[in-house]
Amino acid sequence: MIIPIRCFSCGKPIAHLWESYVERVNKGEDRKKVMDELGLQRYCCRSVFLGHVDLIDTAAQFKKF
Amino acid sequence: MEIRVLDNNKEQGKLSFILKDSNPIFANTLRRLMIDEVPTMAIDEVEFSKNNSILYDEMIAHRLGLIPLKTDLKSYNLPEKCKCEGKGCNRCQLKLVLRATKGSGVVYASELKSKDPAVKPVFAEMPIVKLLKGQTLELEATAVLGKGKQHMKWSPCHAYYKYRPIIEITGDVKNPEAIIEVDHNNIFEIKDRKLVVNKDRVLECDLSLDYSQIDKNVKVTASDTDFVFYIESFGQLSGKEIINKAMDIFDEQLDELAEELKKAK
Ligand SMILES: [Zn+2]
Ligand SMILES: [Zn+2]
């Protein structure tokens, strides 16, 4: 849906890193390199970034009940 | 007891140090005090006046709660210890207002307007929600001081430690390459065909391998009295503030224990 504010497992705040991550990955940079440089050291935080799909644009077009 | 700072990266909020001549009981007490007892500010209640975004009120409230707020421990009290007796006053709570009526786009944490300039979101560019055209979000949030033992959003840091590694080479190592091959922490080197310890990397050893099974002369043991401590601040407080506050709380708790023991007789 939307990037979680913190890592589920360790609690590190990560949401503010998402947009620069997406921008750099879309430019063709290696995901490993980008995550290393953003300071995502543990595999828990990395998995949040690797597994996340931003669905909010699609979901927002539907009505909420 | 002695403390030697290894690294203090203020930008990333990382602090590491060696705790010398101590014991596991004290090291774990310190760790738990930092995680559970050092208070920070976090949003605890949210009143929505308008929200027709795709996220439900409770989801946005939950996201707001997790946003780290820069904390000024001197000007706020814990609600239960405040003079107002938990009713709520400007010494124990803070209002933050968010009004995103511009129509479309991502709403960032920086748009949370705080009544106190010292307490504001640490990371300005955290997305709270994304609005489409015609969607609006208006709310008033209340931030209070709290402790990590109640909810992790009030915890100031991620703190962990390990026993200090002791690495010894007691004699001739017949096959140094075999050691180098399994050494994923890069603590060993080969110099003049002899195995030597890279002194700068000793603390990087994660104590996960038993090298004596490969060669009896390579001994990796853990110190019982020295600890390598790592603190990763979430941003609300600096590493130094966290340790100082944790020690103050430890003092208070010991005083409290002494008082209670006196009463017991
Ligand atoms: Zn994590
Ligand atoms: Zn009060």
Alpha-carbon gap, residue B110 to B125, rounded angstroms = 7
Within a domain: residue B239?
no
Of B149, B183, B211, the residue at which a domain comes to its end is B149
Among residues B183, B169, B233, the alpha carbon closest in space to that of B10 is found at B233
Q: What is the mean pLDDT of residues B111-132?
A: 93
Residues B20 and B54 in one domain: no
Question: What percentage of chain B exceeds 70 in pLDDT?
Answer: 99
pLDDT-based confidence at A57, cuts 50/70/90? confident
Within a domain: residue A2?
no
Number of domains in chain B: 2
Within a domain: residue B138?
yes
A29, pLDDT greater than 90: yes
pLDDT confidence of residue B133: 85
Tokens of B212: 């004596």
Within a domain: residue A4?
no
* Dihedral sign (CA B201, B202, B204, B209): positive
| CA dist list (Å): B143 to B41, B59, B196 | 6, 17, 55
pLDDT confidence of residue B102: 67
B235–A13 C-beta distance less than 8 A: yes
Within a domain: residue A10?
no
CATH number, position B190: 3.30.1360.10
| CA dist list (Å): B215 to A40, A45, A47, B96, B152 | 36, 37, 37, 62, 45
Half-sphere exposure in the Cβ direction for B145 (13 Å, CA)? 23
Tokens of B178: 């075999």
Within a domain: residue A65?
no
Residue B177's domain comprises 2-36+158-230
Residues B58 and B139 in one domain: yes
pLDDT-based confidence at A18, cuts 50/70/90? very high
How near does any CA of chain A get to the CA of B132, in Å? Answer: 7
Q: What is the mean pLDDT of residues B13-19?
A: 93
Q: What is the mean pLDDT of residues B1-28?
A: 91
Dump pLDDT digits (tens) for B54-75: 999 999 999 999 999 999 899 9
Alpha-carbon gap, residue B157 to B31, rounded angstroms = 10
Average pLDDT along chain B: 92
Among residues B199, B207, B246, the alpha carbon closest in space to that of B228 is found at B207
Within a domain: residue A33?
yes
Residues B11 and B69 in one domain: no
Of B100, B127, B149, the residue at which a domain comes to its end is B149
Å from CA of A38 to ligand 1 middle: 13
Residues B174 and B123 in one domain: no
pLDDT confidence of residue B247: 95
Residue found under tokens 């290696």: A30
Residues B21 and B95 in one domain: no
Residue type, A43: Y
Dump pLDDT digits (tens) for B171-211: 888 888 888 899 888 899 988 888 888 888 999 998 888 88
Number of domains in chain A: 1
Within a domain: residue B209?
yes
Residues B144 and B57 in one domain: yes
Dump pLDDT digits (tens) for B99-113: 987 667 899 999 999
CATH number, position B135: 2.170.120.12
A19–B67 C-beta distance less than 8 A: no
- Which residues in chain A are contacts of B158 at CB distance < 8 A? 10-12
Within a domain: residue A28?
yes
Residues B47 and B145 in one domain: yes
Residue A37's domain comprises 15-59
Out of B161-175, B187-201, B203-217, B242-256, give the one with best mean pLDDT. Answer: B242-256
B220, pLDDT greater than 80: yes
Within a domain: residue B246?
no
Residues B145 and B71 in one domain: yes
Within a domain: residue A9?
no
Alpha-carbon gap, residue B186 to B173, rounded angstroms = 17
Of B90, B116, B149, the residue at which a domain comes to its end is B149
B151, pLDDT greater than 90: yes
- Which residues in chain A are contacts of B56 at CB distance < 8 A? 64
pTM of the model as a whole: 0.89
Cβ–Cβ contact B231 with A under 8 A: no
Residues B141 and B46 in one domain: yes
Alpha-carbon gap, residue A2 to A10, rounded angstroms = 19
Alpha-carbon gap, residue B98 to B46, rounded angstroms = 10
Tokens of B116: 């106190």
Within a domain: residue B78?
yes
Q: Tell me phi and psi for residue B173, to 5 degrees.
A: -100, 120
- Which residues in chain B are contacts of A3 at CB distance < 8 A? 127
* Per-residue three-class SS string for B115-156: CCCCCCECCCCCEEEEECCCCCEEEEEEEEEECCCCCHHHCC
Within a domain: residue A50?
yes
pLDDT confidence of residue A65: 67
Q: Give the range among B36-40, B56-60, B198-202, B251-255 with minimum mean pLDDT.
A: B198-202
Q: Kindly tell me the burial class for residue B197, based on how many C-beta atoms sit within 10 Å of its own C-beta (0-12, 13-18, 19 or more).
A: middle
